[in-house]
Amino acid sequence: MSERVLPAVGVPPRQAWVEHWPLLLGFATLAIPTVSSLSKQVWTRESGAHGPIILATGAWLLWRQAGSFRALQKPGSVWIAGLVLGLSLLLYGFARAFDFISLEMAGLYGAGLAMLYALFGAAAMLKNWFPLFYLGFCLPPPGWFLDRITAPLKQFVSSVATGSLNAAGLPIAREGVTIHIAQYQLLVEDACSGMNSLIGLFAISLLYIYLLRGSSLRYSGILTLFVIPIAIVGNILRIIVLVMLTYYFGEQVAQGFAHFVAGIFLFAVDLLLVFAVDAVLPRFLPKSWRPAS
């Protein structure tokens, strides 16, 4: 991570954006329909529940860095900005017409980057790269891609969870994509759906690392490596909770509101584990690798 950048002294952050209201209005005209679609589709699923959080915190980061953008302002090439904007709008229009939400969001994201480049230039964007990179996590990955990258992890966590419960004496077995517990059957895909929140956990963890440890690139990289094993541990706990709810209270309870609550609770547990690792990790690293206190 690069060192955090604070707004330049004497440059009102609000002025850096408000004076460009016509461009913001044009971007809002594109963004509002897309956000509406996201709220009805992607954000209603567990794999996309992190979207509103990232959008809100990403917008706050841009607002926070407004002074830095203004201090480094050197408008970019009109031709480059126009080309990127044109291609992004074509992608946006195509995706909007055929309801490809992932491509639509990609087109919107590209249009936003083109507008920022036209206004502030490449130097300002590179200096303030993290908010732009972070907002990229708002792009919903296609379902087939998400399934492909999480499939091995889902098989692993389901195997560990069922093995642990079996060792504890519960009548549980896993057969292919089905978990059998007493007279109940759970699909592995449903029980392991928490792995779909891996991208959200990774993004929120990066935000935490950037805000608290942004000045230490080496330490930030090490801490980031712990996110995936933390997500795996959290999802193993999630499966154990869901299976035990099914066994003791029935399938209707486990697949109803309790399923949603378990997902939210264990996502919070994952974040707490990131904080815990951050608190302990410096003790095991050489002094030169530790973050500034």
Residues designated catalytic = 192, 238
Instruction: Give CA–CA dist 46/249, Å, rounded.
Output: 23
Q: Which candidate, 73, 58, 103, places its Cα nearest to that of 8?
A: 73
Is 157:236 a contact under the CB 8 Å cutoff?
Answer: yes
Grouping H, G, I as helix, E, B as strand and the rest as coil, residue 215 is coil
What's the start-to-end Cα distance of the chain, in Å? 16
Instruction: Give CA–CA dist 136/124, Å, rounded.
Output: 18
DSSP label at 6?
Answer: P
Q: Which candidate, 112, 152, 83, places its Cα nearest to that of 17?
A: 112
Grouping H, G, I as helix, E, B as strand and the rest as coil, residue 86 is helix
DSSP label at 193?
Answer: G
Q: Which candidate, 134, 143, 136, places its Cα nearest to that of 46?
A: 143
